[in-house]
Amino acid sequence: MALWSEQKPAEDFYRVLAPDGTLVNEPPGLEEGELRELYRTMKLTKRFEDKALKLQRAGEVSIISRCRGEEATPLGAAAALEPGDWCLPLYRQRSGLVYWNVPLERQLVGLMGAEPETIDEHLPDDLEEPDVNFSPIYVPLGSNLPNTVGSALADKLNGRDTVSLTFVGDGSTSEGDFHEALNFAGVFDVPAVFVCQNNQWAISVPAHRQTASETFAQKGDAYGIPNERVDGNDIFAVYEKAKEAVDRARNGGGPTFIECVTYRIVEHNTADEPSVYRDEEQREYWLERDPIDRFEAYLLEEGVIDADTIDAMEDAIDERIDEAVEIARDVPTSSPELMFENHLRGTSWKERHQRAELQRELDGKNPFVDWTGEGFE
């Protein structure tokens, strides 16, 4: 059976932490507390996704895409934002969401297939909400990108010093929306940051099939946008370049495009089986470049954490996850009439009528017996 040949991307990107956790460049000036928080976020993300995977296998969650092995990219990018900024994520940026405290409960109930109204109504009121503004997760690939330009343009035209940040997969750079967005961003010189999470696969299609460009980063050149190419498994490299980009955007310096080179060491999502289309040799290579292991080695070496702090942290993380699962399970199943919510403010005859039809169907009554348009009975 044919498998895709893989091509190793060039590793002449910006790197601070080598895969073994030693420094090859100056680290960003982060306090010990901030370093521990970044580390904790990666671990929490990983353990949360492990849990979600178990829930998926048990049938409580229908499908999940993990960012396992890619945690440093969304995390480093999102950590560069300030409260009040905007982030428009896709489905593989969980570490960024976790960093800004998008409640785990909210994420879980979403994965459980509830309607957004159910989530809003039934989650405890005292859940901490994020200080960064998050859009809903985008699923149609590329569609987030022009919206990010618009979000940033709105800030620019109103003289606000807010930054909008979004992500794009290697595969999704092939969509027209990507090119249109970068072009608009360049022309309007908006305060936006585009982070390409190049995990080298788009479901079964390898990145070398998406572009004939040598790098994704260089696509920024075509649109007159400053660009960077960094080791996406190196939290320091991602953070530093994202921070530069966010600061520049905030100070009127316009957009930046950052390619973060990482690898999808796991399945595309829980419906996928990668061994069908790729060999696992590359995976082994990238496992040795794991973002969490690398950062952990550094922090241990620097004495920022030790075996005891890790144990205590893991216990606290697991407790937090268990609590979130319990709260999520307590949220009732969405009721069917919620399908009608939030369409044109519910003022139409048609909506009233179809709501009544659905209710009759649920009550075991015939919904097709209004012969006058004046209602049932």
Ligand X SMILES: Cc1ncc(C[n+]2csc(CCOP(=O)(O)OP(=O)(O)O)c2C)c(N)n1
Residues involved in catalysis: 264, 268, 277
Q: Which residues bind another protein (CB under 8 A)?
A: 1-4, 62-63, 112-115, 118, 139-142, 171-172, 174-177, 202-205, 209-211, 271-272, 276-277, 333-336, 338-340, 343, 350-351, 354, 357-358, 361-362, 366-369, 371
**Least Å from the CB of residue 366 to another protein:** 5
Nearest Cα to 349, choosing from 322, 324, 319, 372? 372
Sheet containing 227-231: which strands, arranged edge to edge? 133-134, 86-88, 164-169, 192-198, 256-261, 227-231
Residue 148's binding partner out of another protein, ligand X, Mg ion, none, with CB under 5 to 8 Å set by partner kind: none
Q: Which does 232 bind (CB under 5 to 8 A by kind): Mg ion, another protein, ligand X, none?
A: none
Helix, strand, or coil (residue 310)? helix
How many CB atoms sit inside 10 A of residue 250's CB? 17
Is the CB of residue 137 less than 8 Å from the CB of residue 90? yes
d(CA 193, CA 103): 24
Closest approach of Cβ 54 to ligand X, in Å? 22
Tokens of 182: 């970068």
The reply to whether 215 sits near Mg ion by the rule CB under 5 A is no
Chosen from Mg ion, another protein, ligand X, none, partner binding at 161 (C-beta under 5 to 8 Å by type): none
Q: What is the number of alpha carbons within 13 Å of residue 99 lying toward its C-beta?
A: 31
Would you say 237 and 243 are in contact if contact means Cβ atoms under 8 Å apart?
Answer: no
Q: Does 66 bind ligand X (CB under 6 A)?
A: no
Contacts of 157 (CB under 8 A, 6+ apart): none
Kind plus residue range of the DSSP H or E element containing 309: helix 307-330
First to last CA, the chain: 64
Q: Which is nearer to ligand X, 219 or 268 (CB)?
A: 268
Show Cβ contacts of residue 5 under 8 Å, excluding neighbours closer than 6 positions: 206
Judged by CB under 5 A, does residue 65 bind Mg ion? no
Return the one option of ligand X, Mg ion, another protein, none that residue 92 interacts with (CB less than 5 to 8 A, by type).
ligand X
d(CA 238, CA 246): 12
Per rule CB under 5 A, is residue 170 in the interface with Mg ion?
yes
Minimum Å distance from CB 200 to Mg ion? 7
- Using CB under 5 A, count the residues that bind Mg ion: 5
In the bound state, the residue with its beta carbon closest to Mg ion is 169
Give which of another protein, Mg ion, ligand X, none residue 71 binds (C-beta under 5 to 8 Å, depending on kind). Answer: none
Q: CB-side exposure of 143: number of CA atoms within 13 Å?
A: 9
Q: How far apart are CA 133 and CA 84, in angstroms?
A: 6
For position 170 contacting ligand X by CB under 6 A, the verdict is: yes
Q: Name the residue nearer to another protein (CB basis): 18 or 339.
A: 339
CB of 334 to another protein, least distance (A): 4
- If the CB atoms of residues 188 and 376 are measured against another protein, the closer one turns out to be 376
Under rule CB under 6 A, which residues in 256-275 are in contact with ligand X? 264, 268
- The answer to the question of residue 69 lying near ligand X (CB under 6 A) is no
Q: Which of residues 75-104 bind ligand X (CB under 6 A)?
A: 92
Query: Which residues, 183 to 212, sit near ligand X by CB under 6 A?
Result: 197, 199, 201-203
Query: Which of 76, 83, 37 is closest to 228 using CA atoms?
Result: 76
Q: Should residue 199 be labelled a site residue for Mg ion when binding is judged by CB under 5 A?
A: yes
Output the 3-class SS for 118-136: HHHHHCCCCCCCCCCEECC
Which residue is associated with the tokens 């006058």?
Answer: 372
Task: Closer to Mg ion by CB, 202 or 235: give it.
Answer: 202
Question: Which residue ranges make up the site for ligand X (CB under 6 A)?
Answer: 92, 139-141, 169-172, 197, 199, 201-203, 264, 268
